[in-house]
Amino acid sequence: MRTAEIRRRFLDYFAARGHQVVPSAPLLYNDPTLLFVNAGMVPFKPYFTGAETPPYDRATSVQKCVRTLDIEEVGKTTRHGTFFQMNGNFSFGDYFKAEAIRFAWELVTGSQDDGFLGFDPNRVWVTVLHSDDEAARLWENIAGLPPERIQRRGLLDNYWNMGIPGPGGPCSEIYYDRGPEYGREGGPVVDEDRYLEIWNLVFMQEELSTVRAKDDFDVLADLPRKNIDTGMGLERVATLLQGVDNLYEIDEVVGVLRKAAELSGRTYGAEGGHDDDVRMRVVADHVRSGLMLIADGVTPGNEARGYVLRRLLRRVVRSMRLLGVTDPVLPELLPVSRDVMKASYPEVERDWDRIAGIAYAEEEAFRRTLVSGTQIFDVAVADTRKGGGSTLSGDRAFQLHDTYGFPIDLTLEMASEQGLSVDADGFRRLMAEQKARAKADAKSKKAGAQAVEVYRELRATGVTPFTGYSELASDTSIRGIVLDGDLVASAAEGDVVEVVLERTPFYAESGGQDSDAGTITGDGFELEVVDVQRPVKGLVVHRVRVARGELQSGTDVLAQVDGEWRLGACQAHSGTHVMHAALRQVLGPTALQSGSYNKPGYLRLDFAWQGGLSQATRSDVEEAANRAIRADLDVSATYMPLATAREIGALALFGETYDEEVRVVEMGGPWSRELCGGTHVQHSSQVGLVTITTESSVGSGVRRVEAFVGIEAFRYLAAERSLVHGLTETLKVQPDQLVDRVGRLVAQLKDAERQIAELRSRQVLAEAGSIVARAHEMWGVDYIGHAAPGVAGNDLRSLALEVRNRVQDRAAVVAVVGGSADKPSVVVVTTEGARHRRLSAGDLVRVASETLGGRGGGKPDIAQGGGSDGSKSQEALTAVEHAIGHVLQS
């Protein structure tokens, strides 16, 4: 049974039993505690915690997930994969244990001819929490399982919680016996390779007050509404139903594995080919993960999500290289994954041009990194040998890996070719420390999530209606005051607190739009609004400074948005939509927005694109935007079902999640049609003017344009006009002659600088004769030390070489110190006769550079360095002289 069919059967089964089918949330979910969605229940977490009221009593989904903590284990075991799909059914205070067990048993063991999955019921085992007699009894009564196939386990294995105070409860896991060829008898408590877990049923029934560890927590009380959260590993079920050994060999993955084998000329599963098999499995897993991450809007980068994607794609290239393939591989592998995944996720085909462009550009960048990394590796090898060692240090290997993106496997391979080993233990220790820091950061973020408890309490009393689409001032009242995470009854003048209103005209920062500014006034007090946020869905929180008087909770107030600020915000946000549409008009439909920020007078928009925009293209985009503004396009906002919005082509921002009812903002009908909750002008002409100020790269395959909007755009252009006017007055030319005139001046200046440099060089070299005359003989070697203040760069090097040319017939060392007082430079050269006396320019320049407060190095015949203290020039020359004497006398 194909994976897509298993997925369909699961959703159909629960839909037929009253469950709302919920589409998968994007992998980039709006949760500060998560890098990516890593479990099927993540989109439903606000319902389980009570932060939001669920719109349905029961739901089902197949959720895309990514986990990367065990990335190094991918391919080595049959259980580790980075991207996976989690089938789930959920109950929010509706059915509980008995129904969850009945549903699971029927779907798992029911006949395939009847639409079920058709597992042999005699090979099904389950585990329950050691104290959960009820679950054990239900499995016996509902499924008819004998007691020996119902195993009890402790809290570590069979209790679920989020790691923070909140809901928790016992689990019951379903396992399938793969047979004696896969391991020992005795059930999952003995061997979890033979007995493969396929489904976990979580019975949320308790409220936890303190969570110290997965198996160490305090139970506050029973939940008033008991919930069900289940997770069935789609890939694991496919492994069993397709009769293959592991998840890398199922239909959605194996195609890439076979293509990797074909490109490399290796045979998967060949005797003695364990390492090759691991590499092919890594490729198969990571190609699919990279495809799905890019499809959901992730772009390669050096931090957080972007770094994970970059690492996955680079591990593909590295693994193929270790398989002997040095040509570009993603153009061969990625389309294979697209073709099998598009049945379940049509967006991978719809957005293919963008996805492929990002992935292929990243591979090309890594291929360049491999070249530069090899050079850095060669330096590390040389330093190791120079120190008399035979082991590349762990910190050098980690530096290559972490700073330069050079994979450790390649470092090990290349070191072996050079006859060196690598301190792998030291490397692993540094990697472990980095992982520990990452886990600590994640834990701190998770701990920070506890601070929203007060917001959940306020949200439980109702949402905060936003009235700002139709008014700038609202009569309202203060629902709550928050200070340092606690509810307080009042706030005094000068305090900075957070205020929740019963209704508000203030726009909370979201969708790239900055929050509104304004005031909240009441009887005897005035609050200055400095920020507005939505810490939990449906609740608007105003950060305010008490400018006058004393604030009391429950007081009636007037909330007033600054009209000028809102006008500027509307212009900037509408201008962002105009800029996005103009980019797509000029560049094509793949130039999709991947992020934005706007505030009064300014907008910033990130979009998918390879390579910088020429000045002509920038001008075309700017003109397209301003023509749309001049056209006075009608701007409208309409609410409609999400499915309808997608059907009419409304664009959604990557990483955002949307309700089933969405707001679609249109400008000129289909010219610009986007899902958006922000505030906008009523006609495009009200934007006024857009002028692009910069265009730059913010990551592989992502460009950024910044622009001024409205009056700020006019001021920007007025300042440029003033600058042009000043230049034309100074140069006595017309504006249209300015570029030519400045060009001629620059050419003349460069010519003059070249002539000056030539004169200075001749003057410097003219001193060579007098410098040679001051040579000092030491044990048969002439030492010529000379201070040349103000001489630097090539001139200093040329002077040293010219002096050496005049003493080539004898053993001689020339040291010249120049540069400036705060940035001295030194060059040391030696003749062949001096080198026969064991005098090396590289060794001597290090002595001089250290005296100058810096470093230096080079070859035995010529070397250079520098420092930070030019007052020690003579000391540096004397130090070289002493070093020469030490070598000659030893």
Report, in this order, helix, strand and coil percent for the chain, each rounded to 5: 45, 25, 30
Residue whose pair of structure tokens reads 């928050």 in the numeric block: 482
**Residue of 102, 78, 116 lying closest to 1 (CA atoms):** 116
The token duo for 244 is 């293959």
Q: Is 680 annotated as a binding residue?
A: yes
Q: Is 297 left (phi over 0), alpha (psi -120 to 50) or beta?
A: left
Q: How far is residue 422's CA from residue 398's CA, in Å, rounded to a whole number? A: 11
* 111: helix, strand or coil: coil
Instruction: Give the length of the chain.
Output: 890
Q: How far is CA 57 from CA 48, 102, 225, in A?
A: 12, 18, 11
Residue whose pair of structure tokens reads 């409860």 in the numeric block: 169
Task: Give the amino acid at 474.
Answer: S
Q: How far is residue 629's CA from residue 687's CA, in Å, rounded to a whole number? A: 7
List residues bridging with 746 in a β-sheet.
Answer: none
Q: Determine whether 73 is exposed, middle or buried from the number of CB atoms within 10 Å of its CB (0-12, 13-18, 19+).
A: exposed
Q: How far is residue 539's CA from residue 535's CA, in Å, rounded to a whole number? A: 7
| Beta-strand relationship, 391-392 and 541-548 | unpaired
List residues bridging with 777 in a β-sheet.
Answer: 782
Helix 424-449 × helix 394-402 angle, to 10°: 50
| Beta-strand relationship, 812-819 and 781-787 | parallel
Q: Is 573 annotated as a binding residue?
A: yes
Sorted by sequence, the CB contacts under 8 Å of residue 372 that are 6+ apart come out as: 404
Query: Do 201 and 101 meet the contact criterion of CB atoms below 8 Å apart?
Result: yes
Residue whose pair of structure tokens reads 């109702």 in the numeric block: 462
**Residue of 121, 94, 125 lying closest to 199 (CA atoms):** 125
Query: Do 40 and 88 meet the contact criterion of CB atoms below 8 Å apart?
Result: yes
Q: How many CB atoms lie within 10 A of CB 100?
A: 22
- The upper half-sphere exposure of residue 196, i.e. CA atoms within 13 Å in the direction of its Cβ, equals 24
Q: How many CB atoms lie within 10 A of CB 142?
A: 17
| Beta-strand relationship, 812-819 and 824-830 | antiparallel
Q: How far is residue 575's CA from residue 635's CA, in Å, rounded to a whole number? A: 12
* 515: helix, strand or coil: coil
The token duo for 379 is 């330096």
Q: How far is residue 435's CA from residue 541's CA, in Å, rounded to a whole number? A: 35
Q: Determine whether 35 is exposed, middle or buried from the number of CB atoms within 10 Å of its CB (0-12, 13-18, 19+).
A: buried
Q: Determine whether 611 is exposed, middle or buried from the number of CB atoms within 10 Å of its CB (0-12, 13-18, 19+).
A: exposed
Q: Is 577 annotated as a binding residue?
A: yes
Indicate the DSSP class of residue 678: S
Q: How many CB atoms lie within 10 A of CB 211?
A: 18
Q: Provide the terminal-to-terminal Cα distance of the chain, rounded to the nearest Å.
A: 81
Sorted by sequence, the CB contacts under 8 Å of residue 747 that are 6+ apart come out as: none
**DSSP string covering 279-334:** HHHHHHHHHHHHHHHHHTT----SSHHHHHHHHHHHHHHHHHHHTT--S--HHHHH
Residue whose pair of structure tokens reads 């622009």 in the numeric block: 707
- In the annotated binding site for Zn(2+), the residues are 573, 577, 676, 680
- In the annotated binding site, the residues are 573, 577, 676, 680
